[in-house]
């Protein structure tokens, strides 16, 4: 019990010392905010507004305006189509079309690769163990056997060998085309 009384006495002394220090630090003036909650309004200065009343004329004018849509959806990122002005002649429409022609031109459609003139496709075959088909080609009079995935003349890749049709790809452009079996050259050239 005695120990508790000593602790309470020390706590009281510490509170009195803290209060004195606080009073001394505040310059001897009591803090108004803790006592009077209206201290904020003491130094209030209103904003410098020439006429604080509502501008009824401007409000009435805004109320009387009528919204007229231009046809553009304000929630879309796409621009509205260009409509001819009322009373405009076809000259304006032609000028608009010519302006559109001057813009970036679409890229030309790439043409499929052509089969080299010195190569003829005269046959195809398979090896019995189930590997891919082979195409028999004549390149400048010499017989070449190529399979799917092989390169021909350093420029063409054989993609697929089908019944009578050879699918090839130009390595430089990545475009594909087909070459049918040459009927007049269905036999290998003489050696």
Laid out side by side, the sheet with 151-152 consists of 151-152, 156-161, 165-170, 176-180
In which element (H, E) is residue 18 found?
helix 2-25
Residue 34: inside a domain: no
Give a yes or no: residue 51 inside a domain.
no
pLDDT of the chain, 191 residues: tens digit per residue:
778 999 999 999 999 999 988 888 877 665 555 555 555 566 777 778 777 788 888 888 888 888 777 777 778 787 766 666 666 555 555 555 555 556 567 778 888 888 888 888 888 887 777 677 888 888 888 888 888 888 888 888 888 888 778 888 988 888 888 888 776 554 554 54
CATH value at residue 153: 2.30.30
Q: How many helices (H) and strands (E) does the chain have?
A: 4, 7
User: Which pLDDT does position 186 carry in this prediction?
Assistant: 47
Q: Which two tokens stand for residue 20?
A: 């004195």
Q: Which domain holds residue 129?
A: 119-185
Q: Which residue is listed with tokens 């849509």? A: 69
Look at residue 49 and tell me if it is in a domain.
no
Tell me, yes or no, whether 160 lies in a domain.
yes
177 and 114 in contact (C-beta within 8 Å)? yes
């Amino acid at each position: 019990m005695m120990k508790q009384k000593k602790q309470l006495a020390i706590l009281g002394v510490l509170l009195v010392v803290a209060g004195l220090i606080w009073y001394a630090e505040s310059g001897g003036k009591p803090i108004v905010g803790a006592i009077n909650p209206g201290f904020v309004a003491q130094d209030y200065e209103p904003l410098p507004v020439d006429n604080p009343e509502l501008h009824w004329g401007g409000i009435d004018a805004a109320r009387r305006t009528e919204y007229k849509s231009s046809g553009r959806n304000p929630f879309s990122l796409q621009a509205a189509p260009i409509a001819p002005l009322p009373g405009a002649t076809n000259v304006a429409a032609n000028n608009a079309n010519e302006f559109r022609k001057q813009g970036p031109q679409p890229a030309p459609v790439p043409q499929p690769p052509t089969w080299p003139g010195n190569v003829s496709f005269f046959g195809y075959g398979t090896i019995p163990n189930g590997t891919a088909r082979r195409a028999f080609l004549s390149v400048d009079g010499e017989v070449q056997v190529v399979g799917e995935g092989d390169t021909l003349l350093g420029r063409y890749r054989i993609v697929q060998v089908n019944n009578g049709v050879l699918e090839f790809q130009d390595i430089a452009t990545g475009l594909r085309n087909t070459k049918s079996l040459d009927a007049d050259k269905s036999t290998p050239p003489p050696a």
